[in-house]
Amino acid sequence: MSISRADIEKVAVLARIKVDGEQVSALEKDLGNILDLVDQLSAADTDSVEPMAHPLDAVQRLRPDVVTETNQREAFQSIAPATEDGLYLVPKVIE
């Protein structure tokens, strides 16, 4: 199965990864080969099979709804690219 340049450009936007023209050509080939490999799945008869998400079919555990973590804002923000007054800085979003 092949994947088109338009598909790659669309999925790159969804994945928030910038790709240039040359990279799209390389990805067209590599992703096409990977999807060819994956295409073997279509031959499998899975009509009555339940999808498997966890090997032991475990379900999500719940814990009491109480605060267990302490505030470590300073430690966490000390490794951020940009902060100010305890807030994370990003480029302006609203004009």
Which residues are at the interface with another protein (CB under 8 A)? 3, 7-8, 11-19, 27, 30-31, 33-42, 44, 46, 49-56, 58, 60-61, 63, 72, 75-76, 78-82, 88, 90-93
Alpha-carbon torsion (47, 51, 55, 57), positive or negative: negative
Q: At 60, which amino acid appears?
A: Q
Of residues 25 and 39, the one with the C-beta less far from another protein? 39
Give the shortest CB-44-to-another protein separation in angstroms: 5
Could you give the C-alpha distances from 95 to 75, 91, 92, in angstroms and in order? 31, 11, 7
